[in-house]
Each structure stands twice: as structure tokens, then as C-alpha cells.
């Protein structure tokens, strides 16, 4: 199982980072680190942490940061997701 974060940027030339944190604010996984982004795309998280183990059931926050090196524009976003388990 996985979750997908879709995005659309208004102009080309953005660089972005996407990091997943748990409900306590601790780093769970870095999905992108200062990577060049196309104007439309997606990022997927398979629910694993930096060690490759399944993340615990609970709330997680995607912290998304995009910036344009040429124009100095910077934007930050947060998106909450929930990791659940089958009964």
C-alpha cells in the first residue's frame, strides 16, 4: 500500500523537498531532497521509514517545500495522512 501526493506548479524551474514526519514531529522518511521538479508530477510514499521498516499506525505530516533558485520564490505546504492497519 502507498499514498500519492500529486502536484502542479505554475512555472518550470522549481526545486523541491518532501519529508514525512510522525505526529510527534520526528523524521520518518525523506522522499525528495532538493530535486528538480517538472511542472506536474507526483510523489509516492510506501509507508516505510528511513530504515525500510513499516511506519507505525498513526498520523503523519508531509512537509513540502518548493523554491525557484532563479527567482527566489519559496513556498511551504503541509499535508496530513493516516497510516492504518487491516483488522
What is the torsional sign of CA 19, 48, 43, 83? negative
| pLDDT for residue 1 | 81
Q: Report how far residue 3's alpha carbon sits from residue 37's, in angstroms, rounded to the nearest whole number.
A: 19
| pLDDT for residue 30 | 98
| pLDDT for residue 86 | 80
Q: Residue 58 maps to which CATH number? A: 2.60.40.4070
| pLDDT for residue 85 | 81
Q: Report how far residue 43's alpha carbon sits from residue 34's, in angstroms, rounded to the nearest whole number.
A: 13
Question: What does the DSSP assignment read for 11-33?
Answer: SS--EEEEEEEETTS-EEEEEEE
Q: Mean pLDDT in each 10-residue stretch from start to end of the chain (87 residues)?
A: 92 96 97 97 96 96 95 92 86
Cross-strand partners of 80: 61
Q: Report how far residue 39's alpha carbon sits from residue 52's, in angstroms, rounded to the nearest whole number.
A: 29
How many domains in the chain? Answer: 1
Write the burial class of residue 45 (CB in 10 Å: 0-12 exposed, 13-18 middle, 19+ buried). buried
| pLDDT for residue 72 | 84
| pLDDT for residue 61 | 97
Q: Which domain holds residue 27?
A: 3-83
Amino acid at each position: 500500500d502507498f499514498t500519492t501526493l500529486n502536484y502542479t506548479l505554475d512555472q518550470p524551474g522549481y526545486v523541491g523537498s518532501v519529508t514525512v514526519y510522525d505526529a510527534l514531529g520526528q523524521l520518518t522518511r525523506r522522499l525528495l531532497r532538493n530535486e528538480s521538479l517538472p511542472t506536474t508530477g507526483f510523489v509516492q510514499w510506501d509507508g516505510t521509514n528511513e530504515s525500510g521498516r513499516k511506519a507505525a499506525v498513526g498520523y503523519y505530516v508531509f512537509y513540502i517545500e518548493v523554491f525557484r533558485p532563479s527567482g527566489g520564490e519559496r513556498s511551504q505546504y503541509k499535508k496530513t495522512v493516516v497510516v492504518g492497519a487491516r483488522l
